[in-house]
Amino acid sequence: MNPLLGWALAALMVGAAWHFYAWQGVAVAVTAVVFWLLLQFNRAVRVMKNAGNAPVGHVDSAVMLNAKLRAGMQMLQVVTLTRSLGRRVSETPEVWSWADAGASEVIVTFVNGRCSAWLLNRPTQAPE
């Protein structure tokens, strides 16, 4: 969700609560907003905790990751898919990579924290 839209909805909810229920409504609305923020924070911490237990830049299958990636995915969603923190390739533009045991590698480019492009590099096999 767009953060501006989220904050606008939260402000609208607090305003409507004030209009209909005065200060008691504002208390309930603010409680609901804080609860939502805590849920989001808890989700991010859980994803990072799980990713922190795995080797950096490793994924079980780079081909499966390539198939599951979509343009516009947030970095947190990609880390959830990979269950691993990526290996930073470049800082500007923000490029991260994940590789599997077979040396296949997915290189993901993020713009403003969202996936904009990705590339699957597979090792070449020697002719038989």
Instruction: Catalogue all structural domains in the chain, each as residue range(s) with its CATH number.
Output: 1-53 (no CATH), 54-121 (3.30.1450.10)
Task: Specify the pLDDT at position 86.
Answer: 92
Give residues with Cβ within 8 angstroms of 64, minimum separation 6. none
Task: Specify the pLDDT at position 120.
Answer: 95
Percent of the chain with pLDDT over 70: 97
Q: Is the pTM of this model over 0.85?
A: no
Give residues with Cβ within 8 angstroms of 61, minimum separation 6. 100, 104
pLDDT tens digits along 101-112: 999 999 999 999
What is the distance between the alpha carbons of residues 115 and 89, in angstroms, rounded to a whole number? 15
Task: Specify the pLDDT at position 126.
Answer: 54
Q: In this model, does residue 1 exceed pLDDT 70?
A: no
Q: Fill in the DSSP letter of residue 107.
A: E
